Amino acid sequence: MKWFFKSFTRKVCACVILGANLYAQKACAEMEKNMNHYIQLKKSNCKNCYKCIRHCPVKSIRFSEHQAHIMKEQCILCGECFVACPQDAKQIRNDTALVKDMIASGKPVYVSIAPSFVANYDEADIDTMSKALKKLGFAEVEETAIGAVIVKKQYEGMILSGETKTIISSCCHTVNTLIQKYYTEAIPYLAKVISPMQAHGTILKEQHPDAYIVFIGPCISKKEEADQYPGIIDCVLTFEELSGWLKEENIIIEPSEVKTASETGRSRLFPIPGGIIRSMLRQKEEYDYIAIDGIDNCIRAIESVISGNISNCFIEMSACAGSCIGGPAMDKEKKMRISDYIRINHYAGEKDFIVKTPLDDLLVKRFACHISNGQIPGSITINEILAKMGKANPEQELNCGSCGYNTCREKAIAVYQGKADLTMCLPFLKEKAENFSDNIICNMPNGVIVLNEELEIQQINRAARQILNIPNHMYMIGEPIIRNVNPAFYCEVLTTKRNIRDRLTYLEDYQKYIEETIIYDKTYHIIISIMKDVTVEEKSKQNKEKVNKQTVQIADKVIEKQMRVVQEIASLLGETAAETKIALTKLKESMYHE
């Protein structure tokens, strides 16, 4: 029997440990899944402002427990939430430590730097950037614009072949992800060409097969692109990460000594609006060339392509307003679009870099469908959710956008999908709070009057109206309190800023006694009067005092009369005693003489 219990105990313990391990593994996996996102949340700074949701073009942010959570499977990594956040509650995953480990490994680390570096670092060129980055330990630095030459030639070949009537550039990973997740009908229009980052990475890998390749640029989504297509780019750093690293090492990028533009480097135009098109040879006149920047404009253009309104057209698309020089990971003080544009324009040359094109198979990029939209509820369910938000009819759907969603119905769908909750509707909460406070004040047994600093009535409840014999509160709002009561005490509180507590006052005009507390609110500059009608109690007290007084008076009279009687009796007894004494004395003397 003892052996049985020991065996049983060991099995139970093993099951518990196994279950705990499985739970721990699951928890760690979930934590890693959340923490491994490219845009991370600083929970302590999120302040319920919903600004990130308003700016998110695909509403891929779930709001719960008073925190905004980016939904990785729906995010397109445009970085709008990161840029828009007023509390700096979001941060880009920092991979600087990973690159430092690469350098420390002893293997050479090559840099492919985006051509937008000219806009991010004043007066820098590829030589001065190379000098600074080599001080950090990098083996060599080259421009991603070299890969851009290969990409734009592929675009030119697609246009000449005429295989696709409408072509959307595929340089921007955010645009590609937007189409793959939300506009899958437009996938056939995406140019099946790798990005300049991947093209340059492919060249560097061929030239230096044992080296690490690091891309540095202004884009968050390039981190995901590098992870989705492994073996080309080993790590991606943003300009913000690079600037922080340079500052940490006290390395300054020196101004360029070359004052004239290079003849080569036409593909350096890629990071500005229309830069891809300007670098291309337009050999087909019947083709239209359109440059679109900004995620909202891209969405409208994609919808037009799907609807068939656009044909025979090459569309250069960039998710960022201002194209790559407006990227979310540019240094925050670098937001002067015009000067950045001019700097890029002057740095680009008239001719292309001379580049050996890799095999065509290495330049092809396939785009899979990644539909991530949540389940859409029916109209009945939507109306039920709207009713819970106090929107029982279409007239109550304000569509104000304060919750971050464009319409109340979009918000209701988000509530159904678990991405939002009812408390995010600010007009609903405001109305609910006002009704709640109004109900409390209206049903309070004590009278409440709210005055402004001009002693004008702002709010008055039912009990106060009864005390002051006011039939309708609408007649009193905005009216001076002097029309109803003596304002002396209110003026005293307003002047001295000292509150009055439970002062007994007789309102002669209303023949009522009240206990009044008068409070001055410095924050909102209002005076609050709380009145308690104590007329019944006060009159009862006065009647009791009157009865007590009458009783005392009667008692006094009785006592006085009793005292007189006692005095009269005492007087009579005194006279009788004296006469008796005299008589006995005389009797004693007469008996003694005998």
Q: What is the CATH number of the domain that holds 459?
A: 3.30.450.20
Q: How many domains does one find in the chain?
A: 5
Mean pLDDT of all residues in the chain?
Answer: 84
Our measurement of the distance from residue 10's CA atom to the centroid of its chain's CA atoms, rounded to an integer in Å, reads 50
Query: 10 Å Cβ neighbour count for 383?
Result: 16
Closest CA to 152 of 301, 326, 343, 353: 353
Average pLDDT over residues 14-31: 38
Name the percent of the chain lying above pLDDT 70: 87
Tokens of 582: 């005299």
Q: What angle do CA 542, 545, 550 make, to 5 degrees?
A: 125
* pLDDT at residue 125 is higher than 80: yes
| 31 assigned to some structural domain | no
Output the pLDDT for position 221: 95
Residue 15 lies in a domain: no
Q: What is the pLDDT of residue 462?
A: 86
pLDDT at position 32: 41
* Domain final residue pick, 512, 533, 554: 533
266 & 132 share domain: yes
Could you give the CA distance from residue 164 to residue 158 in angstroms, rounded to a whole number? 7
Q: Quick check: helix, strand or coil at residue 382?
A: helix
* Residue 155 sits in the same domain as residue 113: yes
Distances, alpha carbon 216 to alpha carbons 58, 66, 99, 148, 234, in Å:
26, 35, 11, 15, 11
Let me know if residue 135 belongs to a domain. yes
Please report the pLDDT score of residue 373 as a whole number.
64
Q: Are 518 and 489 in contact (CB under 8 A)?
A: yes
Mean pLDDT of 360-385: 82
Q: Note whether residue 11 is domain-resident.
A: no
Q: Is the CB of residue 550 less than 8 Å from the CB of residue 543?
A: no
Give pLDDT tens digits for 435-466.
Answer: 666 677 777 889 999 999 999 998 888 888 88
Check: pTM over 0.75? Answer yes or no.
Answer: no
The Cα 562–Cα 571 span in angstroms is: 14
Same domain, 400 and 502: no
Could you tell me if 101 and 79 lie in one domain?
A: no
Residue 374, in any domain of the structure: no
pLDDT of residue 432: 66
Residue type, 252: I
Last residue of a domain, one of 363, 391, 413: 363
Q: What percent of the chain has pLDDT over 90?
A: 46
SS3 87: coil
Do 357 and 504 lie in one domain? The reply is: no
- The pLDDT tens digits of the residues spanning 291-316 come to 999 999 999 999 999 998 888 899 99
pLDDT confidence band for 371 (50 / 70 / 90): confident
In the chain, the amino acid numbered 313 is: C
Q: Is residue 439 part of a domain?
A: no
**Which CATH number covers residue 408?**
1.10.15
Does position 119 have pLDDT exceeding 60, yes or no? yes
Which of 343, 130, 149 lies closest to 264, judged by CA? Answer: 149
Question: In Å, how far are 281, 411, 429 from 406, measured between CA atoms?
Answer: 41, 8, 18
Q: Are residues 180 and 308 in the same domain?
A: yes
pLDDT of residue 293: 96
Model pLDDT for residues 419-429, shown as the tens digit of each residue:
877 777 777 66
Do residues 277 and 153 both lie within one domain? yes
Question: What is the mean predicted confidence (pLDDT) over 480-485?
Answer: 89
pLDDT recorded at residue 142: 96
310-340, pLDDT tens digit by residue?
888 999 999 999 999 999 999 866 556 788 8
- Do 128 and 253 have their domain in common? yes
pLDDT at residue number 334:
55
Q: CB of 297 within 8 A of CB of 305?
A: no
* Whether 213 and 293 share a structural domain: yes
Q: What pLDDT is stored for residue 33 in this prediction?
A: 45
Q: Which domain holds residue 591?
A: 536-594
Position 540 scores a pLDDT of 85
Q: What is the mean pLDDT of residues 33-42?
A: 66
pLDDT in tens, 521-576: 988 899 999 999 998 888 888 888 888 888 878 877 888 888 888 787 877 777 77
Taking only the tens place, the pLDDT of each residue in 216-240 is 999 999 999 999 999 999 999 999 9
More confident residue, 451 or 417: 451
Nearest Cα to 447, choosing from 391, 390, 485? Answer: 485
Question: Are 312 and 215 within one domain?
Answer: yes
- 368 within a domain of the structure (yes/no): no
4 in a domain, yes or no? no
Of 394 and 243, which is predicted with more confidence?
243
Instruction: Note whether 471 and 406 are same-domain residues.
Output: no
Last residue of a domain, one of 363, 387, 412: 363
Provide the CB-side half-sphere exposure for 94 (13 A, CA). 12
325 and 210 in a common domain: yes
When mean pLDDT is compared across 183-187, 423-427, 481-485, 535-539, the lowest value belongs to 423-427
